[in-house]
Amino acid sequence: MTSYPVIGLPTLAIPPGPKPARFGINQSYVRALTAAGCAPVLIPPIDEQDRLRSIYERLDGIVFPGGADVAPEAYGEQAIQNLNIIEPERDRTELTLARWAFDDDLPTLGICRGQQLLNVALGGSLYQDLHHQGATTVEHSDADGRARTALIHRVRLDPDSRLAQLIDETSIDVNSLHHQAVKSVAPRLRVTGKSDDGIIEAIESPERRFWIAVQWHPEEIDDLAWVQRLFQGFARAAQPSG
């Protein structure tokens, strides 16, 4: 029987509308992980730690996906008025999972909000809004109506980074769908990639087997060879022994 690494995917709460309230995640994450040889498992926001731990202990790896903003209070700031859309229960669940994963050296991949979440979990901070706070004049969000798959800007990677060596690239064109980004990097993480305007686009932990985060959305462009190498490398790191 084939042994697939079980990968946790935290979900978001979808409020009631024409249909009842639900939990969900974009299907592109599941497709990318399945194609890489993983068995994805969706994790709802759960406040009860014992139940959450029961799920966590069955995982071989975890992917923190994109989504709404991490609450500024989590990194010691007050929210800038009318800029933040937050999901407190999701923040609590994901910050807990991220800290457990770091402590236990569980293979971890962060994507967009996921990069921001991992940085905050270990003590870093964020730009609440890149334009409002003057971090760049480049449009990194999809406010202009761009396709989610559109390759918008270049990211230069540190050749010595785990990410660059894994995907065998040091300069890549990426899609971009975010209005926030890492500001101060958590002490136990290092910057491994930036866009040409200086925005932090990749971070990783040199202390862990696989703790990599990117600011773009590779799951949306998984027909590219280097994206496939990223997910396949994550799957290898999460492969259960024995």
Query: Residues of the chain with pLDDT > 90: what percent?
Result: 91
Domain residues for the domain of 207 are: 6-238
Number of C-beta neighbours around residue 199 at 10 A? 21
Any domain includes 62: yes
Model confidence at 1, pLDDT cuts 50, 70, 90, reads low
Instruction: For residue 112, indicate whether it is catalytic.
Output: yes
Q: Are 234 and 222 in contact (CB under 8 A)?
A: no
Strands 153-157 and 171-174: antiparallel
pLDDT, position 81: 81
Tell me the pLDDT tens digit for each residue of 165-186. 999 999 999 999 999 999 999 9
Share the mean pLDDT of the chain. 95
Q: Is pLDDT above 80 for 2?
A: no
The C-alpha torsion from 184 through 189 and 195 to 196, rounded to 10°, is 70
Distance CA 43, CA 23 (A): 9
Q: In this structure, what token pair is assigned to residue 57?
A: 């202990």
State the Cα angle at 7 between 158 and 43, rounded to 5°: 115
User: Which of 94, 201, 219, 220 does the annotation list as catalytic?
Assistant: 219
What CATH number does residue 49 fall under?
A: 3.40.50.880
Instruction: For residue 217, indicate whether it is catalytic.
Output: yes
State the Cα angle at 80 between 79 and 86, rounded to 5°: 50
Q: What are phi and psi of 121, to 5 degrees?
A: -60, -30
User: Which of 38, 87, 94, 112 does the annotation list as catalytic?
Assistant: 112
Instruction: For residue 38, indicate whether it is catalytic.
Output: no
Any domain includes 19: yes
Any domain includes 202: yes
First to last CA, the chain: 12
Model confidence at 242, pLDDT cuts 50, 70, 90, reads low
Strands 61-64 and 12-14: unpaired
Domain count, the chain: 1
Any domain includes 154: yes
Any domain includes 1: no
Any domain includes 115: yes
Any domain includes 230: yes
Q: Are 66 and 219 in contact (CB under 8 A)?
A: no
Any domain includes 88: yes
Q: Are 179 and 140 in contact (CB under 8 A)?
A: yes
Q: What are phi and psi of 108, to 5 degrees?
A: -140, 135
